[in-house]
Structure 1
Amino acid sequence: MIEQRRILATAIPGPKSLALGQRKTAAVSAAVGTGLPVYIEAAADGILRDIDGNQLIDFGSGIAVTSVGNGNQRIIDAVSRQIADFTHTCFMVTPYEEYVAVAEELAALTPGDHEKRSALFNSGAEAVENAIKVARSATGRQAVVAFDHAYHGRTNLTMGLTAKNMPYKHRFGPFASEIHRVPMAYPYRWPTGADRCLEEAFEEFVALVHAQIGEDNTAAVIIEPIQGEGGFIVPPDGFLTKVAQYCRDNGIVFIADEVQSGFCRTGDWFASDHEGVVPDLITTAKGIAGGLPLAAVTGRAELMDAVHVGGLGGTYGGNPVACVAALAAIETMREDDLNAAARAIEDTLTPRLKELADRTGRIGEIRGRGAMLAIELVSDQGAKTPDPALTAAVNKACHARGLVTLTCGTFGNVFRFLPPLTIAPELLTEGMDILDEAFDAALG
């Protein structure tokens, strides 16, 4: 077991990581970037250990994937048993109980008490793409509505849904047709002020769908209840409820993309639970299986069963090893009450972020819920001018001090905090101390 403490044995990155980086350059496409080029050999809970013996505090969780922590014994035991039994048959050829058990858990955990069905895939992008397929098949309509600042994946269809050009869409078009974009309810940057964001954003959404698409042509509206790569944007309370009701009133499928926000990350099983919103379809991945590739579309039985037999699936979708990892991860979340752990992380980080904002004057907004928090950096509080240069400098300074941090945002000026839900409280505190030092270093 890795001791849960930070160790700086070398500079970051160390000589062995630098040497392995040269091998990467020679063997791996230059298009595959890395945020922090240290090569990890072991990890447990809130610590990553690299090949140079450095131990880094993990505030990223592999982008919200290892929510139950690396080294989770339930997952290790379940995966070991499953590998010894069999690793793959393809569920579409000869099925197995593990896939069914995951679908049963999803039916029980996702919002709503209606009858549900699930289909399993490998990645969040696959889940989103298949949710669109379901919506189009069930409604007989084609148009799909997505929001500004959205991120839904890197496949051709999901790139079309994603709002940000660089690095996700640049020179990869043309994209799938019948995708339409509307403004996101972004309180911090709403032109007439945060207090008017809810009503005006909803009214603009309704007007644009009516005038430019037509309700009867719209198959689905897809939204992240808390936007991820776009900057952890949290819409005002009531916005999701209004959009979901509008969809119900017009026979439109309401899709909640909970790939990043699902599975206890926000202090609820799903971010939709915060407002009691019940999506027609919900997409999940990332934190579902403790680091193994698994994703799902879960939704109303009449929608999921509307697709013809054979219309959903994939060779590796619902791989049995990934399924048992998901069952073990869900057991951990339930038995160890990781929703409470996420809320405790918020209670620890938020006061420190407020102190940092007051001290530096460079944080325009602190937002998020649970262990899905962010700060938006600006050079001018009044003008709210995005400051990607400061964001990059602080990120670099954190890395040099042994703290794994992530940036995001349409304007490249947002820090996102996604620690494992099992991280030790003292590592959270030390991580915030490092963030303070990094700001001081970046600001000179």
Structure 2
Amino acid sequence: MSKDNIILKAEGVSKQYRLGLVGTGTLSDDLKRWWYLIRGKEDPFLKIGESNDRSKKGGSNYVWALQDINFEVQRGEVLGIIGKNGAGKSTLLKILSKVTLPTIGEIKTKGRIASLLEVGTGFHPEMTGRENIYLNGAILGMTKAEIKSKEAEIIAFSGCEGYIDTPVKRYSSGMRVRLAFAVAAHLEPDILVVDEVLAVGDAEFQKKAIGKMQDISKGDGRTVLFVSHNMAAIQDLCTRAILLSNGEVKFDGKVDEVVNKYLSSNSVTKSKINFNTENNIDSVKIKSISIFNSKNKNTSQLKSGEKFTFEIELDVKRTVRNPIFSLRLSDLQNVNIVTWRSNDFVVSPLDNNIYKDFTIKLSVGSLYLLNGIYDISMGFADGKEVLDMKIKQAQIEVLADKPNLKYHIITKEKSSNSLIFSNADWIINQ
């Protein structure tokens, strides 16, 4: 990175909180800190505390919400910050926005920062929408004339014209987000910080907001820090991403690589999964699924393009007059890739009036999925009556491979974010 082009830099940023009813410490803790400070010694509480794992109860009253965060952001870059709930994303954005201070470390920035961290942040509820536009502009250091020149554009973008002279306390949460984002995006900050708050808006506004952030970064050369659990939005908008886990940076790099690491972090693929059918008294249940590769080996790791087989056992406790089975593959971003249904056939491969346990073998060949983890969903029905469904309770891992001798090994990194590799005959006429 060019040092002259760096607009934001985090150096050794850590944030410690005290757990329990009192979040900022006790009088005895404050006195102890003061005594160490006047003696020129390090804060004694920096040596204690546990990592930020919300799922486990620790033995300390102190927790590190963030630990030793280091990164740089260039002007015009769109940085996505992703991670599980409680990973430290919002704490980091509050520190970057100077809403709170780090316990240790330093944030260096150049220019104005506009933040959209929570619904209605920075808005005075008793003031009208129009008055809040001027209030936020003044906080950003803009003159009244500068704000006035942007006023009509902000109001039009927000879609809140009918309520612009109504106190903000009467706005819905979605309307407050619309106006807050319009203000933050149009008052020309050098750095725009946006938390998950956009999820409150409707689909039309989310698309509009992402388009505006793209214009801000690409057209105006301003910087955007974006936190979201919507991985599609992260991939569409961001030029780089950081993965946070338990208050630490686990990965910093290309968006697709970081997203894949995040989505696959909890993925555990198994070659056979047995489902509970103990209470199946008078219905039909999917009993198990097994996966076999082209060598008939029971495995959940498959090479792209090789023939593989799903073997599904069903536990039948009633007559099924019109059986229908379906199996779907989807990626970890909930994009459905392919579905196989028995009722797609003119003559179904399943017999009518099934009344005993049976097994389905579904063999697939030449499906060139790109490398990664894929979810398996299954359903079984009697006509329109759904009898059992297993949604994303099984997974396969596809390994990169060569379709044939004409091609290199095909991976996601070489395929422009596609999901499937498709072979085609190329004819060049000159």
TM tier relative to shorter chain: under 0.3
Return the structure number with greater strand share. Answer: 2
More helix by share: 1
Q: Give the structure-1-normalised TM-score.
A: 0.26
Larger RCO of the pair (alpha carbons < 8 Å, separation 6+): 1
Name the larger-Rg structure: 2
